[in-house]
Each structure stands twice: as C-alpha cells, then as structure tokens.
A and B are shown apart, each in its own frame.
Chain A
C-alpha cells in the first residue's frame, strides 16, 4: 500500500522559513500529483499547493511546493512565517488505483 510520511511536528520563529517533507513509501512520488492542505482547528482543510507546485489564487507566494525524485519526497516551504500560518498541514496524492492517500499531517508551530 502506498503511504505518505510526514514529520509529526515542526516549529520555527516568525519571519523564518520552514520546510515540511512528505515521503512516498514506494514507487515514484512523481507519478501522481501532490497537494498540500492547511487545516485550522474546527475547519475543513483548504488547498495551499496543488499539482506539486501550483498555488491557488489567494494563497500568498510565501507558500511553495516541490518534488525531489531522488528522495521520493515532496516538500512544502513557507517563508516569512507569520503566526497565522500556525496550523496542521497535510500532503495528499493518489495511489496506482487512483485512490486518495493522505500523509499523517504535520503540526506547524510558529513561536
């Protein structure tokens, strides 16, 4: 079964840059698009990156996504951290059956 693994938590100071990784368990993570969602408590997730590195309108350009085939991983980078960026972040892709797969989520603390 295809799985995505994320760090449980990361923390960084306001104004700094943080990167959250998402590692695929098998096959090539580049075979299917990777999305990143932000989720605040009590709310549904919202898309911050889609199709590996595309940013929806309204998402600040402080958010960027990338794929590293050599490590079979995707990354979400947030620069110029703001306290409002504190949330849970999930990567998501699809397996060979086109079933959705989510990473376990990463809690970002901005302190």
Chain B
C-alpha cells in the first residue's frame, strides 16, 4: 500500500538546522509531487512547500523562502526537508503528504516532531 514514513523526532537549539526525511513506498516515487505541511502545538496546518520528485524542482511558501530546502533521492525514494536558522516558533510537527488521485492530500506521513529549545 501507499505509505510515507518519516524520520524520528528531533530536538534542536535555536539557530541550528534540521533535516527531516520522508520515505515513499507502494507507488512510483516520481509520479506525485511531495508537499510539506507543519503544525505548531495547538495550532493549525501550515503549507510549507512542494517538490517534484521527478525533476527536483521546488516551490516554497513565501514565509519560508531562504530558510527551507527540499531535496529528493530517487535511488531511495526519499524526500528531505531542511529548515535552517531555527527559532522557538518552528517547534511543530512536520508532515509530508501527496495528492495521488485528486486535489486532496490523501496520503500523509506519520509526522515528525521538531522541538527548538535552548
């Protein structure tokens, strides 16, 4: 079955970077764009950006421009999201998601908790 499995929880200090992975299985990796969405504790969902696993092209939400980098490794069917210059407000659960059959994000990873604390 189609599955997205993310890397484990991270604790980082302010100013550091974090790299979260999302390994896809059960489908042709290059078939669907991968989105990243985050959710701060008790807050709503926030779209961060998108990567085309086929060519590697990316597009980021303006809020994260200059701080986020999304990459992919087609040999392992894995997408990465790196966020730099971390601050406490970046404490959140980070999700990868795909929209395989419609406009909806139907398949989500399990989420990765990133805590930014000194």
Interface, chain A (partner B; CB < 8 A): 1, 32-33, 35, 37, 39, 44-45, 47, 50-51, 54, 56, 90, 92, 94, 97-105
Whether the Cβ atoms of A47 and B104 lie closer than 8 Å is: yes
Q: A51-B102, A56-B106, A102-B46 given. 17 additional CB < 8 A pairs?
A: A33-B103, A37-B45, A37-B105, A39-B45, A44-B97, A44-B110, A45-B45, A45-B105, A47-B106, A50-B102, A54-B102, A90-B45, A98-B50, A99-B61, A100-B35, A102-B47, A105-B44
Contacts A44-B110, A103-B44 given; indicate if A98 touches B104 (C-beta within 8 A).
no
- CA of A45 to CA of B108 in the docked complex: distance in angstroms? 8
User: Which chain B residue lies CB-closest to A94?
Assistant: B103
Question: Which one of B44, B61, B108 lies within 8 Å of A90 (CB-CB)?
Answer: B44
CA distance in complex: A103, B43 (Å):
11
Min distance, Cβ A1 to any Cβ of chain B, angstroms = 7
Contact A51 B104 (CB under 8 A): yes
Evaluate contact between A50 and B103: CB separation under 8 angstroms.
Answer: yes
Known: A44-B95, A97-B59. A51 touches B44 (CB 8 A): no
| Distance A97 CA – B50 CA, assembled complex (angstroms) | 11
